[in-house]
Amino acid sequence: MIKTKTFISETAKITNMDTQQRLQLINEVGEEIITEEELKQLLETKKQPIAYDGFEPSGNMHIAQGILRAINVNKMTKAGCKFRMFAADWHALANNKLGGDLEKIQTCGDYMIEMWKASGMELENVEFVRSSEIVKEPDYWKLVLNIAKENTVTRITRCAQIMGRSEKETLSAAQILYPCMQAADIFHLKVDIAQLGMDQRKVNVLAREIGPKLGMWKPIVVSHHMLMGLGEPKTEIKDATERAIELKMSKSKPETAIFMTDTEEDVKRKISKAYCPEKQTKENPIMEYCKYIIFEKMPALEIKRPEKFGGNTTIESYSQLEQAYGSGKIHPTDLKTATAEALNKLLEPVRKHFNTNTKAKKLAEQVQAFKVTR
């Protein structure tokens, strides 16, 4: 089970980067920052601000939760942040994940941590905290209640997307409580930077609004990009939060996402079937995988093809790929083949860890046996 612990190194060397370099790294993580001026001021006055992300342990982990999350956390800690990864097991319980079975939810939390270890997350300045521990503290529930008192049911319902839900759905009373708990988490954990996905934007803005009313601070919001699913995007999806709901639903549509435990054959099959229009660089999931994962972890993308189709070529940056693919110099089939090969190389250490480490292997078997519910 996850245990709340102190950071591995309380005396870890503070970054020797200047404010602008630290800001640049965090900008690479944040698709949106509220606000950049406040972030700059924070970095100038606090060498090791606290950043956090929360996750519902609820089944298999896809590559955006695994490798992409590790990339972002590593950038935040390199920029001098201490990072709190929050295992929101009570939140998953409120959201009826895994049928509301808390023991299964907590097992999934342990499984996710093993995934991050194998994905290259640098843990020296990362702390894992479980919500089932902080809910034991009376001050936490007093804070939840105060946040609830300051908001209407209508205002809280607008935050339904943070749970992968729609405002139009019928929400349980527990799900109405969920956004109040998540906002309370930020203050209870002493968070300076709420570094979650764009799908969590509404509750982070809620926390900024409520903080001063409760005599507390306004947390800075650094929202990272939400990776597209592999299917053709729906034309009616208007923003990143709606896209995030589609991504969260990928657990019930396994062909639309790459999972951390997918086999080589799984990856090749899913990528080969993915939406990837010729010459289209925007709203193209294969291009997104290249931009946000492959070029963040690998120095180049190797395109292998017969001489009659241009021969082998090495792409050394995303901008180079964008130009080559947009001009038609690279065919979708060749891009897909190269992408699948690169993803399999990145997933190989994860497969090895879960095949050879007894604890990890047992956790994976347990999670695979769980019936995943939305």
Domain boundaries, the chain: 19-224, 254-369
Residue 115 has pLDDT above 60, yes or no: yes
Reported confidence tier of residue 368, pLDDT bands at 50, 70, 90: confident
For 19-224, CATH gives 3.40.50.620
Closest C-alpha among 284, 294, 282, 281 to residue 329: 281
Taking residues 301-314, report their average pLDDT. 90
HEC states along the chain?
CCCCCCCCCCCCCCCCCCHHHHHHHHHHHEEEEECHHHHHHHHHHCCCCEEEEEECCCCCCECCCCHHHHHHHHHHHHCCCEEEEEECHHHHHHCCHHHHCHHHHHHHHHHHHHHHHHCCCCCCCEEEEEHHHHCCCHHHHHHHHHHHHCCCHHHHHCCHHHHCCCCCCCCCHHHHHHHHHHHHHHHHCCCCEECCEHHHHHHHHHHHHHHHHCCCCCCEEEEECCCCCCCCCCCCCCCHHHHHHHHHHHHHCHHHCCECCCCHHHHHHHHHHCCCCCCCCCCCHHHHHHHHHHHHHCCCEEECCCHHHCCCEEECCHHHHHHHHHCCCCCHHHHHHHHHHHHHHHHHHHHHHHHHCHHHHHHHHHHHHCCCCC
Residue 11 has pLDDT above 50, yes or no: no
Would you state the pLDDT for residue 2?
A: 46
Residue 146 has pLDDT above 60, yes or no: yes
Contact 206, 158 (CB under 8 A): no
What would the pLDDT profile of 61-90 be if each residue is shown by its tens digit?
A: 899 999 999 999 999 999 999 999 999 999
Q: Give the CATH fold of the 254-369 domain.
A: Tyrosyl-Transfer RNA Synthetase (1.10.240)
Beta partners for residue 303, in sequence order: 313
Taking residues 18-43, report their average pLDDT. 95
Whole-angstrom CA distances from 263 to 24, 112, 229, 346 are 36, 18, 18, 12
Reported confidence tier of residue 343, pLDDT bands at 50, 70, 90: very high
User: What is the rounded distance in angstroms from the CA atom of residue 331 to the CA atom of residue 10?
Assistant: 50
Q: What's the whole-model pTM score? A: 0.88
For the record, the structure tokens of 212 come out as: 């001063």
Beta partners for residue 84, in sequence order: 52, 127
Closest C-alpha among 33, 43, 64 to residue 194: 33
Reported confidence tier of residue 159, pLDDT bands at 50, 70, 90: confident
Rg (CA), the chain: 21
Return the exposure string of 196-235: e unless at least 16 CB atoms fall within 10 Å of the residue's CB, then b: bbbbbbbbbbbbbebbeebeeeebbbbbbbbbbbbbeeee
The percentage of residues in the chain with a pLDDT greater than 90, rounded to a whole number, is 68
Cis peptide preceding 358, ω within 30 of 0: no
Taking residues 135-158, report their average pLDDT. 91
What would the pLDDT profile of 213-237 be if each residue is shown by its tens digit?
A: 999 999 999 999 999 899 988 765 5
